[in-house]
Amino acid sequence: MIWSKIARIILRYRIIFLLIITGLTAFMALQVPRLQLDYGYSGMMPDSDSVSIKLEEFKEVFGGDATIFLLGVQDSNFFDLDKFNDWKQLKKDLLEIDGIETVLSISDAIAIQKNSSGGKFEFNNIFPKEVISQLQLDSLAQVFRGFPIYEELLYSSQSNIYMMILTMDSVMINSRNRELIVKRTQELAGQWGDKYNRKVHFSGLPYLRSQLLIMIKAELLKFIYLAAFVTFILLLIFFRSLKAVIPSVLVVGMGVLWAFGTMVVLDFRVTVLTGMIPPVIIVIGIPNCVFLLNKYHQEFKKHGNKIKALQRAIQKVGYAIFLTNLTTAAGFATFMVINNQMLSRFGFIASVNIMILFVLSVFLIPIIFSFLPPPSPRQIKHLDHKIISRIVEIFIYLVGNQRKAIYLVFALMLGLSVWGISKMKTTGFIVDDIPSDHPLVVDLKFFEEHLGGVMPLEVSIDTRKPRGALRNTTLKKVEMFQNKLAGYPELSRSLSVVDVLKFGRQAYFKGDVSQYKLPSQQEQNFILRSLEGSAENSFLFRMLIDSGKQKLRVNIRVADIGVDRMLALKDSIQNDLDHFFPASDYRAILTGSSLTFTLGTHYLVRNLFVSLGLAILLISLFMAWMFSSSQMVLISIFPNLLPLLITAGIMGFFSIPIKPSTILVFSVAFGISVDTAIHFLAKIRQELACPRTLPDQAVIKALREVGVSITYTVIILFFGFGIFVASDFGGTVAMGLLTAITLFVAVFANLLLVPSFLLGQARNGAMKKVKNN
């Protein structure tokens, strides 16, 4: 047999293999310091999708929509002289931060006035460089409040909210410097807040992403340590010997180094998904070691020959471990078919390193133990563990005597699961995976409550004609469209060139607030000459219209309202756009990073179900490779689909929504749970190869022998994935908990349903078709 040859080669050339593996691992370890976090934004939509294309088109004309960083304070006494002057100084200090391009504050507010001759506009700051008295400030504040354009842009009179709008450098925002920029901004703003006993709130996509990266970095190390600690303690409890435990921990530790190293070599960066790979490697790698060690100890207990026992361990368990790692890798690899860079890279790195882990386990465990003394009677005493043995015997009894009851219980669970599945819902909030009491979410909700939202949503209107954006008919349509937008409670106040022209008309009529209206054609010509002739003071105007005056922008900010509401809102706004700007005359598109994220979530959920179907297909093919009978494939696959249905039912009953982080559970858990069936069925095949072994005897003998290892591994997997409940990300918590539950149910399905089905098939001869490779 091929595995006999592999076992002899591994042990014969053990020193050479040990040197090669150690050298390659050392190389991977040297790559770890070069590992970087993903400071960019891995879009959730493929680049070829129309949504992504529209966003890129918008950025080419108007620039990025995700560089704005907001800070705000609620204060009914904001216009206190010292407080206001310190606010002005804060703005100056923020501008000195390398990476902050602009800071728009109340102190920057301008008033447009006709000059004395009436020939052009003059642009003057409402607040001078030095405000020397409270009386002067009160008077200037009154002037400031007389310009409607600033309402809900820099302040909210109703809620007494005052803001600064920061824009970050588009290059530095995608580098590790962003974290430093945000940290320094928080420090400076925090000093102002501490001085006046006011809470300063922060939000905007750059801030949200920076905080998420800080959390990812902290969790990466936390879960590596937790996974290592939990598996170490469990192995020590099971094997009761450091000599058995330390080599296993060493192997999975090397697997972690390979995972990090391959990320660096392939120039992949750490994301919230790839950050989970190292602890997952630890959790998945330990069962490999458990099966090899248990088989080694079982064989040594039979004949006392160490080398022969190691060779038999590779020969009899190696093939099963290969298949289990292959199916687990297949579960992760299916994410590669989804046209999303973040998920594709996650699937590739995970699947490749799971197979590398297989090689490390099969080579290193036998090689290391070949240099160690033979196991002592104390070290193999765990094979007679009374509690574990009693559990296995209970399984054997139930399979042999209570098969109808087993079928009935699982049928009842299946029925309840179908009911629960009918209650499942899909969601997808930008901060969906962060606890509701986290400062990140608290600040976001603060802005949403008082201003309607902070997430970028944009409208681009192409009039198809040069200067068509400034035609009166177009401007009136834009005004009506903005009035329509004002009726959506999820949206902030919209901003367009219409607001700038209204501002100009108000100035044309000497600041009369009642004249804050669209100008006539004659008035518009005067206003435009003044605005276009003042490069310094027409920033807002230039930001909202292209150089050819053909395209204009309507800037909106939207609350984090989730997939369902966002999809409905998108359709409603698009209908409004189609109504005011028919496709025959205009090209009006709705875009923005918030929309891309929301539609991307919807896209991912849909495609992750495709990946699950692909995982089932691939694993079914692997099982068909193992057996020649379609009945045997169904017997092995169905019990591992049942835990997925039960988990889906639990999600429905406990209102755990379907989202990218929870849908990952199904492909991952299926790939892992089927491992139990593979170990069990591989052992049955070995038993059937023995002369005079009847099928029903093979089932019971296989269940008794592999039951101990399976029990060990399911406990390790349960607690290994259970550590993710300590995460600050709700999605990671849900994935860890749901995977742990799925695997726990899967062990019962594989140790009760599979042998029950096989004993039923033993009578009709289906098991005689099992291949004997």
Q: Averaged over 647-669, what is the pLDDT?
A: 79
The number of beta carbons lying within 10 Å of the beta carbon of residue 131 is: 18
Q: Whole-angstrom Cα distance, residue 97 to residue 382?
A: 62
Number of C-beta neighbours around residue 239 at 10 A: 24
Distance CA 28, CA 11 (A): 25
Q: Which residue has the tokens 């190390």?
A: 221
> pLDDT for 471-515, tens place per residue?
999 999 999 999 999 999 889 889 999 998 888 888 878 788 888
- Does 468 have pLDDT greater than 50? yes
pLDDT at 65: 61
Give yes or no for residue 217 having a pLDDT over 80: no
Say if residue 588's pLDDT is above 50. yes
* E strand or H helix at 684: helix 660-688
CA distance 445 to 405: 52
The answer, yes or no, to whether residue 763 has pLDDT greater than 60, is no
For residue 769, the model assigns a pLDDT of 52
The predicted-structure confidence for 412-427, as pLDDT tens digits, reads as follows: 998 999 998 888 877 7
Q: What percent of the chain has pLDDT over 70?
A: 91
* Structure confidence at residue 387 as a pLDDT band (50, 70, 90): confident
Q: Is the pLDDT of residue 18 over 90?
A: yes
Beta-carbon contacts of 711 under 8 Å, excluding residues fewer than 6 positions away, are 388, 391, 392, 747
Per-residue pLDDT band for 612 (boundaries 50, 70, 90) equals: confident
Which amino acid, 308? K
- First-residue to last-residue Cα distance in the chain: 8
Question: Is the model's pLDDT at 618 over the cut of 90?
Answer: no
- Which of 713 and 161 is assigned the larger pLDDT? 161
Q: Please provide the average confidence, as pLDDT, over all residues in the chain.
A: 84
Confidence at residue 474, expressed as pLDDT on a 0 to 100 scale: 93
**Percent of the chain topping pLDDT 90:** 27
Provide CB contacts within 8 A for 746, sequence distance 6+. Answer: 639, 640, 643, 669, 672, 673, 676, 714
- Check pLDDT > 50 for residue 773: no
Model confidence at 119, pLDDT cuts 50, 70, 90, reads low
Q: Which segments of 146-204 does DSSP mark as H helices, in order?
A: 177-195
Mean per-residue pLDDT, 98-119: 80
Residue 277 has pLDDT above 90, yes or no: no
CA dist., res. 762 & res. 701, Å (int): 14
Beta strands in 183-310 (DSSP E): 200-203
Q: What is the pLDDT of residue 92?
A: 93
Residue with tokens 């294309």: 53
Torsion angle (degrees, nearest 10) of CA 155, 212, 557, 468 = 120
Among 51-55, 137-141, 522-526, 717-721, the range of highest mean pLDDT: 137-141
H or E segment to which residue 588 belongs:
strand 587-591
Reported as a pLDDT band with limits 50, 70 and 90, residue 208 is: confident
- 771 pLDDT more than 50: no
Whether residue 114 is predicted with pLDDT greater than 80 in this model: the reply is no
Most confident among 266-270, 493-497, 651-655 (mean pLDDT)? 493-497
* CA distance linking residue 238 with residue 712, whole number of Å: 7
Across the range 86-102, mean pLDDT stands at 92
Helix (H) or strand (E) holding 13: none
335, 347 Cβ separation under 8 angstroms: yes
pLDDT at 768: 54
CB 558 within 8 A of CB 494: no
Sorting pLDDT into bands at 50, 70 and 90, what band is 254?
very high
pTM, entire model = 0.74
Higher confidence at residue 533 or residue 400? Answer: 400
Output the CA angle 282-283-286, nearest 5 degrees: 80
Region of poorest pLDDT, from 175-189, 341-355, 672-686: 672-686
pLDDT score of 265: 93
Q: Which two tokens stand for residue 450?
A: 């008082």
The answer to whether 240 touches 6, Cβ cutoff 8 Å, is: no
Core vs surface per residue 79-111: b (16+ CB within 10 A) or e: beeebbbbbbebbebbeebebbeebbbbbbbbb
Contact 496, 553 (CB under 8 A): yes
Q: Please report which confidence band the pLDDT of residue 537 belongs to, taking 50, 70 and 90 as the band edges.
A: very low
Top pLDDT among 705 and 405 is at 405
Q: Which of 435 and 107 is assigned the larger pLDDT?
A: 107
Q: Residue 687: what pLDDT?
A: 79
Cα–Cα distance for residue pair 32/54, rounded to 1 Å? 38
Please provide the DSSP assignment of 366-414 as one string. Answer: HHHHHHSPPPPTTTTGGGG-HHHHHHHHHHHHHHHH-HHHHHHHHHHHH
Mean pLDDT of 322-346: 81
Q: pLDDT digit string (tens) for 736-762?
A: 888 888 888 888 888 888 888 888 766
Structure tokens that stand for 274 in this block:
């790839």
Of 455, 328, 353, 449, the residue nearest 739 (C-alpha): 328
